[in-house]
Chain A
């Protein structure tokens, strides 16, 4: 009994890492500009599509480099065409603007690159590996591509942490995140900072898209996967990078465990036509959690004044 449970748990944790990758992009932008960027999912899809199609005609590394450039250009376009005109608008207006950007990108990406299912092959081993065969009969089955994704995610978080803590731009980013006006008054150019943030979020989206693309193939549903990052986000708190990681792990693990253990019970009790509680479990879990801690696990405490 313990074996399968552990296997599910590990599988869930590794999927959770992928959620974290998507959530990370949200957090970066929200922290630095207060924009709840709904287009992150569309950016993941767009990046993955671009990479997949470019890789068909050129070597992988070149394609990756080119896609990074395209994502930076995209960030520039969003800043120039959308955000710049919406300065000082309420958060809800900005949120809806990113919804518009999301729709645009979904249409644009698919028109430009086609809407079939594409493969990304970055040379990851696909054969499942077994570990701990001495402890459990048959061992535990692990998908190596997910393991690699987890490692890449860890590296990326480390790089981002260094970037934020040590570099000059990183410090400016944190200043902007703390207080826009104060940052501006000490001479930090906001436009430039936002451009950098969106570009970094674009690159994070590319990594997420790459990992999801390897796992599921590059297709429209990638934009939907990003919706799963939302419960991760509220669980971890909108403004916390560690929150995004921990939230992702919790959501990934619990939803897989719930699917395997709670699902059959529900099906038996209520005579359901199949399980699939993965679809909503994460959201309900996050919702219940919010009732206890409205700012999420690591979010900044919400202090309100009139």
Chain B
């Protein structure tokens, strides 16, 4: 009844190809954006910011990055953690060695450095594919992790091997409260998500999808694999690098390479499986899901008043995660985003389905 496009006529190709062709979608996205920027600060507390909203937003960016590579271009990567580490350490070193550089530029440059590293490790994808490539990206993961643990320059010769971020300023305003951090991260997430959405709708995105669906056929219709695969690696690593930098600066504050180990790679991979491969919206849904489940699981025994040790909880967490992934793959291999799309289809006909 409410969600129906009847009567909305498109009179130009531009209108037909708009990012949200249905007026209700347009309004709800705008409303959601307004709520995220204006409404949330009115109601949210520090806990909600630091434990839920900021991690979800940052990892959404990483998930979008991986989704571009895996969901859109079909190249499985297990090196997300390593590329996040590149972004984080690049941002740290830029901020440390060029103190006057604007924070936004630091993050963008960090993303660019991660992009270069990502392209380097993306080169093998031209020769190998599928599971072989997945294992090859593990080389990136372990090599990068080791590099940041061992090469002293990256950690500025810190004896403990961990790095710490001091004061963070943006245009002279210190980013010191969870609210300010949230707004900055949100701005990053919105801009990057919009950019990604438009990228995948355009020529490049179609190139990636053709590559994913059948690489040889794509090659025959004139898509250069070098072009398609390396651009996917580049854009993906850029996103992942920025996410890594944000994660280091605003979530961790101080970190060592272990913060970006292989478990991080899997975490982001799970986000895009559960959220939906090949969907920007799915990246957000998946990130929210993966962050919220452990929090909820940790709360359940307390609500029920059960005395359960933290070790048991962490094991149960593992089990629930694993079971959920299998369940999702069986029930809905296309993830939460697909569920959402189905719901929208139903909503269009509601309440008169015939």
CB within 8 Å of B: which residues of A? 36, 81-82, 85-86, 89, 91-93, 95-97, 99-108, 110-111, 115, 227, 230-231, 233-234, 238, 270-277, 279-280, 283-284, 286-287, 290-291, 294, 296, 304-306
- Dominant secondary structure of chain B at its interface with chain A: helix
Closest to B130 in A: A91
CB distance from A6 to the nearest CB of B (A): 27
Query: When the two chains form their complex, are residues B329 and A93 in contact, meaning their CB atoms are under 8 A apart?
Result: yes
Query: When the two chains form their complex, are residues A103 and B130 in contact, meaning their CB atoms are under 8 A apart?
Result: no
Query: When the two chains form their complex, are residues B220 and A92 in contact, meaning their CB atoms are under 8 A apart?
Result: no
CB distance from A295 to the nearest CB of B (A): 8
CB distance from B7 to the nearest CB of A (A): 40
Q: Which residues of B sit under 8 angstroms from A36, Cβ to Cβ?
A: 131, 134
A273-B161, A280-B142 known; A234-B319 Cβ under 8 A: no
Closest to B277 in A: A92
Give the CA-CA distance A115 to B143 in the complex, in Å: 29
Give the CA-CA distance A97 to B132 in the complex, in Å: 18
Give the CA-CA distance A231 to B132 in the complex, in Å: 9
Query: When the two chains form their complex, are residues B217 and A279 in contact, meaning their CB atoms are under 8 A apart?
Result: no
Across the A-B interface, the 8 shortest Cβ-Cβ residue pairs = A107-B318, A104-B322, A100-B325, A103-B322, A283-B139, A107-B319, A280-B142, A111-B315
A104-B318, A286-B139, A290-B132 known; A111-B326 Cβ under 8 A: no
CB distance from B321 to the nearest CB of A (A): 5
Q: Which residues of B sit under 8 angstroms from A284, Cβ to Cβ?
A: 139, 143
Binds A, one of B20-28, B31-39, B145-153, B167-175: B145-153
Give the CA-CA distance A199 to B75 in the complex, in Å: 31
Closest to A305 in B: B216
Q: Which residues of B sit under 8 angstroms from A230, Cβ to Cβ?
A: 135, 138
Query: When the two chains form their complex, are residues A91 and B131 in contact, meaning their CB atoms are under 8 A apart?
Result: yes
Total interface residues on B, CB under 8 Å, equals 48
Q: Does B324 contact A (CB under 8 A)?
A: yes
What would be 28 A-B contacts, judged by CB atoms less than 8 Å apart? A36-B134, A82-B330, A85-B330, A91-B131, A95-B76, A97-B325, A97-B326, A97-B329, A99-B269, A102-B322, A103-B318, A103-B319, A107-B314, A107-B315, A107-B318, A111-B315, A111-B316, A115-B311, A227-B262, A231-B135, A231-B138, A273-B150, A279-B142, A284-B139, A290-B124, A291-B124, A294-B127, A306-B216
Closest to B321 in A: A103
Q: Which residues of A sit under 8 angstroms from B130, Cβ to Cβ?
A: 91-92
Query: When the two chains form their complex, are residues B220 and A306 in contact, meaning their CB atoms are under 8 A apart?
Result: yes
Closest to A102 in B: B322
CB distance from B277 to the nearest CB of A (A): 8
Query: When the two chains form their complex, are residues A283 and B143 in contact, meaning their CB atoms are under 8 A apart?
Result: yes
Known: A99-B322, A102-B322, A294-B132; 5 extra A-B contacts, CB below 8 A, are A85-B330, A89-B333, A111-B316, A231-B135, A271-B152
A230-B138, A294-B127 known; A277-B146 Cβ under 8 A: yes
CB distance from B148 to the nearest CB of A (A): 11
Query: When the two chains form their complex, are residues A287 and B322 in contact, meaning their CB atoms are under 8 A apart?
Result: no
Query: When the two chains form their complex, are residues A101 and B319 in contact, meaning their CB atoms are under 8 A apart?
Result: no
A103-B319, A104-B318, A227-B138 known; A274-B131 Cβ under 8 A: no
Q: Does B164 contact A (CB under 8 A)?
A: no
CB distance from B146 to the nearest CB of A (A): 5
Query: When the two chains form their complex, are residues A234 and B132 in contact, meaning their CB atoms are under 8 A apart?
Result: yes
Q: Which residues of A sit under 8 angstroms from B149, Cβ to Cβ?
A: 273, 276
Q: Does B306 contact A (CB under 8 A)?
A: no
**Complex interface bits, B242-270 against A, C-beta within 8 A gives 1, otherwise 0:** 00000000000000000000100010011
Q: Which residues of B sit under 8 angstroms from A91, Cβ to Cβ?
A: 130-131
Query: When the two chains form their complex, are residues A287 and B152 in contact, meaning their CB atoms are under 8 A apart?
Result: no
In chain B between 284 and 316, which residues have their CB closer than 8 angstroms to a CB of chain A? Answer: 311-312, 314-316
Query: When the two chains form their complex, are residues A306 and B76 in contact, meaning their CB atoms are under 8 A apart?
Result: no
CB distance from B325 to the nearest CB of A (A): 3
Q: Does B128 contact A (CB under 8 A)?
A: yes
Query: When the two chains form their complex, are residues A99 and B266 in contact, meaning their CB atoms are under 8 A apart?
Result: yes
Q: Which residues of B sit under 8 angstroms from A305, Cβ to Cβ?
A: 216
Query: When the two chains form their complex, are residues A306 and B135 in contact, meaning their CB atoms are under 8 A apart?
Result: no
CB distance from B119 to the nearest CB of A (A): 15
In chain B between 107 and 145, which residues have their CB closer than 8 angstroms to a CB of chain A? Answer: 124, 127-128, 130-132, 134-136, 138-139, 142-143, 145
Chain B CB count within 10 A is highest, among A95, A111, A276, for: A111
Give the CA-CA distance A96 to B70 in the complex, in Å: 12
